[in-house]
Amino acid sequence: MTDTKNLTQLGTNVEAPQNPEAAVLETVPFSRGDGPPAIVRFTCPEFTSLCPVTGQPDFAHIVIDYAPDTLLVESKSLKLFMTSFRNHGAFHEECTVMIGRRIVAATKPLWLRIGGYWYPRGGIPIDVFWQTGAPPEGAWLPDTGVAPYRGRG
């Protein structure tokens, strides 16, 4: 059974953090076992942040794939972390890479990639990709499932 005694957010009423710096990414132990590493995917199709210049909302479809080593990111804490960007002013590139780096810092995975598929502002969609290195040998990496921009649907 997974040890959850150190979790402070799961199963409790927690207010959304006011910014990403205040958000806490919690982890739970993971046993990889034998064979190729597992790939875990989180998809956030309704991610929002704020333009740092205009304060207008920006929208993205975020896809995170990672190969956990000994820790998994706890999903409620990830949801709260992602929600904390709603009041955060930063450019698309900064938001996308910040998410990836925070998950890496919390879980120390074998590998992580993140794709931020940002909806257009001013007619130009911006897609941001970041990963920690080459994918692990033998891991199955599915397509991100996000269409090239054509109304993102």
Residue in 3, 44, 51, 69 annotated catalytic = 51
Q: Out of 3, 34, 44, 58, which one is annotated catalytic?
A: 58
88 marked as part of a ligand binding site:
no
Q: Is 93 annotated as a binding residue?
A: yes
Helix, strand, coil shares, percent, the chain, to 5: 20, 30, 50
Annotated binding residue 75: yes
Residue closest to 68 by CA, chosen among 40, 100, 105, 44: 40
- 24 marked ligand binding residue: no
Residue 71 carries which side chain, given as an amino acid letter? L
CA distance 71 to 96: 21
User: Is 95 noted as a catalytic residue in this protein?
Assistant: no
51 flagged as catalytic: yes
Helix, coil or strand: residue 61: strand
What are 17's two structure tokens? 């953090």
Q: Is 21 labelled a binding residue?
A: no
Residues taking part in catalysis: 51, 58
Q: Binding site for substrate: residue ranges?
A: 73-75, 92-93
Residues of the binding site: 73-75, 92-93
